[in-house]
Chain A
Amino acid sequence: MDRIRDVWGERTPFQLGGAWPERVDLYLADGLEESDVDRWVRSACVLCSYGCGVEIAVRDDRIVGVRGVAADHVNHGRMGPKGLYGWQANNSTDRLTRPLIRSEGKLEESDWDTAMSMIVDRSKQLLSDRGPSAFGFYTSGQLFLEEYYTQAVVARAGLGTAHLDGNTRLCTATADAALKESFGCDGNPGCYEDIDACDTLFLVGHNVAETQTVLWARILDRLHGPDRPALVVVDPRETSPAREADIHLAIRNGTNLPLLNAIQHELIRTDRIDRAFVDDHTIGFDEVANLVEHYPPERAADVCAIDVEDIRRAAELIGRSERLVSTVLQGVYQSHQATASAVQVNNIHLLRGMIGRRGAAVFQMNGQPTAQNTRETGANGDFPGMRNWANMEHVAELATLWNVDELTIPHWGPPTHAMQIFRYAEIGSIRFLWVTATNPAVSLPELHRIRSILAQERLFLVVSDAFLNETAEFADVVLPAALWGEKVGTFTNADRTVHISDKAVEAPGEARSDFDILLHYADRMGFRDRDGEPLVKWREPEEALRAFGALSKGRPADYSGLSYARLREGPVRWPCDEARPDGTPRLYTDHVFPTFTDYAEDYGHDLLTGAALEEADYRALGVEGRARLRAAEYVPPREAPSDDFPLRLTTGRRVYHFHTRTKTGRAAELDAAAPDVWVEIEPSDAQALGIEQGDLCVVESPRGRVIAPAKLTGIKQGVVFVPFHYGSWDLKGNGGQTRAANELTMTAWDPVSRQPLFKTASVRVSKAPEVR
């Protein structure tokens, strides 16, 4: 099997409501056979948010391969290219195996005691000099629930800082925000089986074929089955889903909102809405109807630069559907007006009553495999257990559960978002930053700025990672971390499915799990609860899950019925409690939404500015159990194309890589499949610039430049695409600052979700001068 050339594998078509056939994908290194494997260890894939159930093959105490789990309801045995080959990074020879400390400007090998002493000494000094607000934590979408939860307790109750966020801010913050703004709480309403039962699919800014390959295989098997669902795709690029679509709406990047408003305009005009559902289960219809009245298809066609008839036809397909599944991802989340646009897809489902039943679901998708857990545990901008930081009762619950004083837990505002954490570091108000399992020196926007922040003498930077990535080069202390397969823990995918990932092998050298690292730090810092007992009350991951079960009991993401023993029998969707021991496939089947003032995770925001509603404002809306239809007018992007920078830049990922290639770049098959950066240009744009296929180009924005060969593709005219994976770790010091797409992107974010904009900036492209 070659998942590089045949990314989605052979078709196994099935019909509406049928079971998706099993197909077990397997990859073993070095020509090994299944019979050569000593043991198979239960796990799930950590290379996208779809969350395939897998088993890790171990021989002679080394990972030697993986295979899909046929009985797993997520993947029915399948795996994608990243999952099949990416595990090889674990065995890479350049793993970090000892702590490093900076000495006279250089990182040198050290030992755990010395490295941790440096961190603890600096922490104690800063705590007494400047207080908890001087501490920031920037975490990942790659750790396990138990690690995030420990991190949340250490940061929020141990130190007492509001500054803990994940790189999930870059991939999933808008999914979280959009669900809260519409339904009152986070959590995708549907499950993947809804794909099997739908009659229409609406993909908005979601190149599922490359971001979640096995989900696309599932969709393809429906599309090639006997009763193909209709497919509408919104994407400026001619992606695989766009080629399969009945209607491809190739909008200009950053114009999702006028399109979605026009579709609602048509749904209302043609009366293809479920009046009874709207009346009984939503508020805000009049506001939406009045606003979308001003968005006839002609207006959207003009702003989005697409055919007006295509908009009408798309609205008709969506309007006629009886079981609609929509998915939303980065094309929406990383454009300006991200949350305002994402909630319009929720609106469409509410207007048509397409929620809480088989085949009718909206997926506000996640980017990373464990992103959902940062949102649940409070390792991102949410409060632990999906609580509301602005609700004093919720704060009090948390204080009781942790046995700390309410005043210890920062609740004077929303937990600080990543871009603000870096801003506070920039002005010297944060002096200690701990980065776990992520790489901001490549993945955050406007890299020259990020590098200058990380390089400051006054900032003490701790990096915990498996490899010496671009960020670690700036660190004062680098801690060698264990990877997936070298530790036990749980994580949750985009349809709320919780998997356990067992430990298959020992971590190399002195590498430790982030769970153990955080416990070590908590011990050395001496964090105590109100009775003088250790604040962090667990030593083993399983105890941490149990503690989180108690913390999440009665909240939307209820884990109280989950245990390692139960998860070793198979995956479970939350909420899972005593009454629902096997979990819950669908939320809101009774069409009651968690918007009650005393229960909701958030009171909501003004979608244009991010201004927060306060409790009294929210209560006055009288939502109480109904969903919110949200109206939002379109405003143009802050950086529109100009004479100097006439093209629209969008960035994104390629099927063979994840994040900044820390792992995928170390798997030979994946690296060879996409070894270097390129820039996609539409042929007529290229011709006007005198650029031919393969010509080396310079892409420039007001902030930086990238040098890359041109690839002429069916991308929208006036738009160029640069993949974001490529940093400089594998260049050995050559050309390090002209390769990352984020040299070009701008420092700006959605005012509600605070997700940075990676898909709306302006650039110019020219042919690179010949080098003699």
Chain B
Amino acid sequence: MKIGPALEHLHSSQRDLADELQALAERHATDHDVYHVGGMLAERCDRLAKGLGPFLEAYGQDEPDDDGSDIVRTFAERVRRTTAAMVGRSDKAGLLLLRDLRELYVHAQETEIDWTIARQGALVARDQALDITCLTGMQETERVVRWLKTRIKEGAPQALAG
């Protein structure tokens, strides 16, 4: 079975998505909708990534790496918040946000299809628990994709017209 490597790939994609959502929320902390909803989605994505831990082990992969030290994360967060405060009043803020949302949209779609692939694996392996986990993952990443698309459609006209 080659499900293990697929799950490992999914896990890393999902974890990166969580990190990037968090980074987006912090970088655009002065855009309050992105800050609050992005932060909430980051937490949910992180929980989904963690939920894959037992399956990784079951399919013969190593335990996932630690997320990095708290000191590094806190420092990175502070840098991003300062950046947010600096660009918060700039008329470039709209375009910067659009660029970041676009990048994340592409990533979220990749993660969504990774869940779909993993779910097909779960079906062929007759693994019901993994199947349920993957279905939740598909729904949640679809939600992220839809939110990003809504945000992009709403923000793009003003960013491009200005």
Chain A residues in contact with chain B, CB under 8 A?
130-131, 133-134, 162, 410, 412-414, 419-420, 423-424, 426-429, 606, 608-612, 635, 638, 747-749, 751
Main secondary structure of the interface of A (DSSP, over half): loop
Interface string of B142-162 (1 = CB under 8 A from A): 010011011001100111011
Question: B150 contacts which chain A residues (CB < 8 A)?
Answer: 609-612
**A412 and B157 contacting across the interface, CB-CB below 8 Å:** yes
9 smallest beta-carbon distances between A and B, as pairs: A611-B146, A611-B147, A609-B147, A133-B161, A428-B91, A429-B162, A427-B93, A413-B154, A747-B32
Closest to A428 in B: B91
Contacts of B32 in A (CB 8 A): 419, 423, 747-749
- Check if A130 sits within 8 Å of B146, measured CB to CB: no
Q: Determine the chain B residues whose CB is within 8 A of the CB of A427 once the complex forms.
A: 88-91, 93-94
| A419-B32, A426-B89 known; A131 vs B161 contact (CB < 8 Å) | yes
Cα separation A638 to B39 with both chains bound (whole Å): 9
A429-B162, A610-B37, A751-B37 known; A413-B157 Cβ under 8 A: yes
> In the bound complex, what is the Cα–Cα distance between A131 and B36 (angstroms)?
31
A462 to chain B, nearest CB (A): 21
A423 to B150 Cα, complex, angstroms: 17
Q: Tell yes or no: B31 within 8 A of A by CB.
A: yes
Contact A424 B158 (CB under 8 A): yes
Beyond contacts A410-B157, A429-B162: 15 other A-B pairs, Cβ-Cβ < 8 A, are A130-B162, A412-B153, A413-B157, A419-B32, A419-B33, A426-B30, A428-B91, A609-B143, A609-B147, A610-B147, A610-B150, A611-B147, A747-B32, A748-B36, A751-B37
Whether A133 touches B89, Cβ cut-off 8 Å, given contacts A609-B143, A638-B39, is: no
Bitwise, B16-54 to A at CB < 8 A (1) or not (0) is 000000000000001111001101110000000000000
Shortest distance in angstroms between A34's beta carbon and chain B's nearest beta carbon? Answer: 53
Q: Which residues in A have their C-beta under 8 angstroms from that of B40?
A: 608-609, 635, 638
Residue among B36, B89, B149 having the largest count of chain A Cβ atoms under 10 Å: B36
CA distance A410 to B154 in the complex (A): 12
CB distance from B36 to the nearest CB of A (A): 5
> Which residue on chain B has the smallest CB distance to residue A747?
B32
Cβ of A609 and Cβ of B154 under 8 Å apart? no
In the complex, what residues of B have CB within 8 A of residue A751's CB? 33, 36-37
What A residues does B159 contact at CB under 8 A?
429
Most B CB within 10 A of own CB, among A134, A410, A424 = A424
B162 x A133 contact (CB < 8 A): yes
Say whether A611 contacts B36, CB under 8 Å.
no
Provide the bound-state CA to CA distance between A635 and B41, in Å: 11
Q: Which residues of B contact A611 (CB under 8 A)?
A: 143, 146-147, 149-150
With A131-B161, A749-B33 in contact, do A429 and B39 touch (Cβ < 8 Å)? no
Give A449's nearest chain B residue, CB to CB: B30
Q: Which of B70-114 contact A (CB under 8 A)?
A: 88-91, 93-94
With the chains together, A115 CA to B99 CA distance in Å? Answer: 41
Note all chain A residues with C-beta closer than 8 A to B146: 606, 609, 611-612
Interface contact A606-B94, CB-CB below 8 Å: no
Q: Shortest distance in angstroms between B96's beta carbon and chain A's nearest beta carbon?
A: 10
CA distance A65 to B39 in the complex (A): 53
Known A-B contacts A427-B94, A429-B94; A609 and B31 likewise in contact (beta carbons under 8 Å): no
Q: Annotate B129-152 by CB proximity to A: 1 below 8 A, 0 otherwise.
A: 000000000000001001101100
Could you list which residues of chain B lie within 8 angstroms of chain A, going by C-beta atoms? Answer: 30-33, 36-37, 39-41, 88-91, 93-94, 143, 146-147, 149-150, 153-154, 157-159, 161-162
CA–CA, A423 and B40, complex, Å: 21
Q: How far apart sit A413 and B152, CA to CA, in the bound complex (Å)? A: 10
Contacts of A130 in B (CB 8 A): 162
Q: Are B143 and A608 closer than 8 Å at their CB atoms?
A: yes
CB-nearest residue of chain B relative to A453?
B89
Partner of A429, one of B30, B91, B143, B154: B91
A413 contact set on B, CB distance < 8 A: 153-154, 157
Question: Measured between alpha carbons, how far is A748 from B40 in the docked complex, in Å?
Answer: 13
* Set A133, A426, A428: member contacting B157, Cβ < 8 A: A133
How far is A134 from B157 in the complex, measured between Cα atoms in Å? Answer: 12
Q: Is the CB of B89 within 8 A of A609?
A: no
12 A-B interface contacts by CB (under 8 A): A130-B162, A133-B158, A133-B161, A423-B31, A426-B88, A429-B158, A429-B162, A608-B40, A610-B150, A611-B147, A635-B40, A751-B33
Task: Give complex CA distance A21, B37 in Å.
Answer: 50
Report B44 CB to chain A, min CB distance, Å: 9
A390 to chain B: closest residue by CB? B153
Distance, CA A135 to CA B148, complexed state (A): 26
A412 to B157, CA, bound (A): 8
Instruction: Tell me the smallest distance from the CB of A420 to a CB of chain B, in Å.
Output: 8
User: CB-CB < 8 A to A424: which residues of B?
Assistant: 158
Contacts of B41 in A (CB 8 A): 609
**C-alpha gap A426/B37 in the complex (Å):** 20
Q: Which residue of B lies closest to A133 (CB)?
A: B161
Chain B residue with Cβ nearest A751:
B37
- Which chain A positions have C-beta within 8 A of B149? 611
Give CA–CA (A527, B110) in the complex, Å. Answer: 48
- Write the chain B residue with the least CB distance to A612: B150
Once the chains are docked, how many angstroms separate the CA of A426 from the CA of B162?
13
* Interface-central residue, B30, B31, B153, B158, by most chain A CB under 10 Å: B158
Please measure, in the bound complex, the distance between the C-alpha atom of A119 and the C-alpha atom of B36, giving whole angstroms: 36
Q: Nearest A residue to B92 by beta-carbon distance?
A: A427
A134 and B158 CA atoms in complex are apart in Å by 9
Residue in contact with A428 in the complex, picked from B31, B89, B147, CB distance below 8 Å: B89
CB contacts (< 8 Å) of B161 on chain A: these are 131, 133
**Cα-based distance from A131 to B157 in the complex (angstroms):** 12
Q: How far is the CA of A395 from the CA of B70 in the complex (A)?
A: 51
User: What's the least CB distance linking A430 to chain B, in Å?
Assistant: 9
Residues of A within 8 A of B36 (CB): 638, 748, 751
Shortest Cβ gap from A768 to chain B (Å)? 30
Distance, CA A410 to CA B30, complexed state (A):
26
Q: What CA separation (Å) do A729 and B143 show in the bound complex?
A: 46
Evaluate whether A606 and B153 lie within 8 angstroms (CB atoms) in the complex, with A427-B90, A748-B32 already known.
no
Chain B residues in 8 Å Cβ range of A131: 161
Residues of A within 8 A of B31 (CB): 423
Minimum C-beta distance from B31 to chain A (A): 7
Residue numbers in A under 8 Å from B154 (CB-CB):
413-414, 420
